[in-house]
Amino acid sequence: MLPVGTERDHYEIEIATGTPFCNIGRVAWVTDDPRDLRLRIWSEAEGPFRWFEAEWRTYFKESRQRKVIDET
């Protein structure tokens, strides 16, 4: 879970390696909670004994304030 005040933004998923004819069919966030980074991934294969390894990244936005000019 992300800290309070930080919300998820988007994700990227790609198949890193595996047998041919495997695919990621659908991806969705597990919950509607904007702090929850977990994903549910549905996979598809055109036959038995198919496998793949996927890599995924989740991103979030964070607000930051920085003082650029010191006005005294």
For the chain, the structural domain boundaries read 7-61
Which conformational region is residue 35 in: left (phi greater than 0), alpha (psi within -120 to 50 degrees), or beta?
A: alpha
The candidate with the shortest Cα–Cα distance to 53, out of 14, 10, 12, 11, is 14
pLDDT tens digits for 11-65? Answer: 999 999 999 999 999 999 999 999 999 999 999 999 899 999 999 999 998 777 8
C-alpha to C-alpha distances, 37 to 26, 43, 67, nearest whole angstrom = 16, 19, 30
Report yes or no on whether pTM surpasses 0.85: no
Q: Which residue has the tokens 């990621």?
A: 24
Task: Tell me which amino acid residue 45 is.
Answer: A
